[in-house]
Amino acid sequence: MTVRAIRKATPNDIVSIVQASLASTTKEETEGFSAAEWTTYSSPEELRKVWDEENRLKDGSEIIVAQKNGRIVGFIVFKQEHDFVYIDNIDVAKEEQGKGIGRALVTCVENIARMNGHSTMKTDTTENAQGTPWKSYGFWTKMGYEDTGERLPTKWSFKTIPFVKRLSTTI
């Protein structure tokens, strides 16, 4: 039987978080959808630079990890703002994708948002120069997030697609 645990990340998890991130996609998959200089979750040294003493990232973001058989197989990064919660990143190791781990991580963050009085969730994904959305687009729509219809240009070759979800007040 597979045991899965979801918990707040600690600095001891940094190497495992990076391993999960690197195992979630291939370089070829991300080409045209992200910036090469985004290295925070692909290097333990980079992630350590932004981790603070309160087990948060220096910008106030929090990380929740998913474990399977004692191994971190996914994580989600989120930040509680004044009137919404923003999911900045979610990664699940490729061999664990499609097994409910991403859904469990998002549900955990949505429950945290509700407990703290938030009723709005926000996130985004990207669209490459050809207008093809990143593979997470379908995941977010299945999770009840709505495409705002905006396509925000970036300084790179891709655009950002914002999503929003209104939460019910019950958990």
Contact 7, 64 (CB under 8 A): yes
Residue 152: how many other CB atoms lie within 10 Å:
13
Residue 96: how many other CB atoms lie within 10 Å:
19
Closest to 134 (Cα-Cα) out of 163, 158, 109, 103 = 158
pLDDT tens per residue, the chain (171 residues)? Answer: 355 799 999 999 999 999 999 999 998 999 999 988 888 999 999 999 999 888 889 999 999 999 999 999 999 999 999 999 999 999 999 999 999 999 999 999 999 999 999 999 999 999 999 999 999 999 999 999 999 999 999 999 999 999 999 998 766
Sign of the four-CA dihedral 28, 138, 97, 119: positive
Taken in order of first residue, the domains within the chain and their CATH numbers are 4-166 (3.40.630.30)
pTM for this predicted structure: 0.94
Query: Could you tell me the two tokens for 141?
Result: 């729509």
